[in-house]
Amino acid sequence: MGAWHDHGGNVAAARAAFPDAPTPWLDLSTGINPQPWDVSRAGAVYWAALPDVAALEALEAAAGRFFGVAPERVCAVPGTEIGLRLLGTLGLPLPMRYRAPSYGTYGQIGEARPVAERDLEEEASRGGTILIAQPNNPDGAVLSEAGLHDIAGRLEAAGGVLVVDEAFADTQDQPSAAARLGERVIALRSFGKFFGLAGVRLGFVLAAPERLAPLRRQLGSWPVNSAALAIGQAAYGDGAWIGQTRARLRQQADRLDALLRCHGFEPSGACPLFRLVSTSNAETLFQRLAAAGILTRPFAYAPDWLRFGRPGDDAAFERLDRALARG
């Protein structure tokens, strides 16, 4: 099971561990939209030249409009994972804590330590930096707007900073927390999950310009490649696709909920890209589904949890249904 605890998407390890599983594999181990934006709509990418500075500015402006913040508060990074690991370059106040359970990466940021949700307000009153995923992963939990404001206010009063990881927030039709809560908050956004293009490796850090300055120095003149510049700018401007995809994701999340309940599981989570189930036989279920060529996501710290990404089409839903029905 260890090969799938750190993150989703390790299909190569699944093929090796389950050589007799039917193919192609159905990868439900990630929270990536299985119906991606069509990259051909971004036009041709000229690979022979260095990424254009004007294209970077255009991308950050397009992303800023989408997030609801000024372009000078948007810094493109080669994936949110890198953005998280570079938080230390922003001079954030210590100690660093994060709402747990959540992403495994959080525990690798400096000496960050986990904090249960019930203790967030008390911790915020002590200052430092608190990192919150909104929606959370893997349980899809969402803090109320009032709760976010309260934590941000407590931190600000104590000289601290709230960091909000909005990797899955594109599914929601609302501005970033960096827009709603102002410059006292740092936010991170992921491009690949909602747009279904994780291989582009594009993300953003949203913060006050003076806080972004050391990060921009670390990243240098070409923080992302030419394809990311072209695809990101075009995709963020595709309002019709964005609206249709948000509606479709909600409908298909409801369908996944109904399927899981039909087989005796109670799904949880507010993010339409994945659902979490709790069951005493999670490891057995993982193994059984893998033997059927379906990869899900287990968790070392919660052996009774299993996360299901959203199937991409009718055939994928039917395949999952048949595998779960085998008992």
Output the DSSP codes for 168-225. TGGGSSS--HHHHSGGGEEEEEESTTTTT-GGG--EEEE--HHHHHHHHHHH-S-SS-
Which residue, 121, 83, 115, 113, is CA-closest to 95? 113
Q: Under a CB-based contact definition with an 8 Å cutoff, are residues 74 and 84 in contact?
A: no
Confidence category of residue 265, pLDDT binned at 50, 70, 90: very high
| pLDDT tens, position by position, 99-116 | 999 988 898 888 899 999
Res. 1: pLDDT tops 70: no
Question: Is residue 7 pLDDT above 80, yes or no?
Answer: no
What pLDDT was estimated at residue 324? 97
pLDDT of 3 strictly over 80: no
Q: What is the pLDDT of residue 2?
A: 67
> How confident is residue 135, by pLDDT bands cut at 50, 70 and 90?
very high
Question: Region 257-263: what's the mean pLDDT?
Answer: 98
Task: Determine the Cα–Cα distance for residues 119 and 66; give it in Å rounded to an integer.
Answer: 32
Quote the percentage of the chain above a pLDDT of 70: 99
What average pLDDT does range 190-202 have in this prediction? 97
Please say if the pLDDT value at position 58 is more than 90: yes
- Residues 272 and 261: their CA atoms lie apart, in Å, by 16
Mean pLDDT of 223-242: 98
CB contact set of 275 (below 8 Å; sequence gap of 6+): 140, 253, 256, 257, 260, 267, 268, 269, 307, 308, 310
Q: What is the pLDDT of residue 5?
A: 72
Predicted TM-score (pTM) of this structure: 0.95
Q: What is the pLDDT of residues 19-37, one digit of tens each?
A: 999 999 999 999 999 999 9
Mean pLDDT of 196-206: 97
Residue 204 reports pLDDT greater than 80:
yes
131, pLDDT greater than 70: yes
> What does the pLDDT read at residue 6?
74
Residue 237 pLDDT exceeds 80:
yes
Contact 106, 98 (CB under 8 A): yes
- 199 has pLDDT over 90: yes
CA distance 212 to 210: 5
Q: What is the mean pLDDT of the chain?
A: 95
Nearest-angstrom CA–CA distance, 96 and 114: 9
Res 104: pLDDT: 84
| The Cα angle at residue 244 between residues 242 and 246, in degrees rounded to 5 | 70
- pLDDT range class, residue 72, cuts 50, 70, 90: very high
Which whole number is the average pLDDT over 111-135? Answer: 96
pLDDT value at 327 more than 70: no
Residue 4: pLDDT above 90? no
Query: pLDDT of 150-189, one tens digit each?
Result: 999 999 999 999 999 999 999 999 999 999 999 889 999 9
- Name residue, tokens 């608190």: 130
Under the banding of pLDDT at 50, 70 and 90, the label for residue 255 is very high
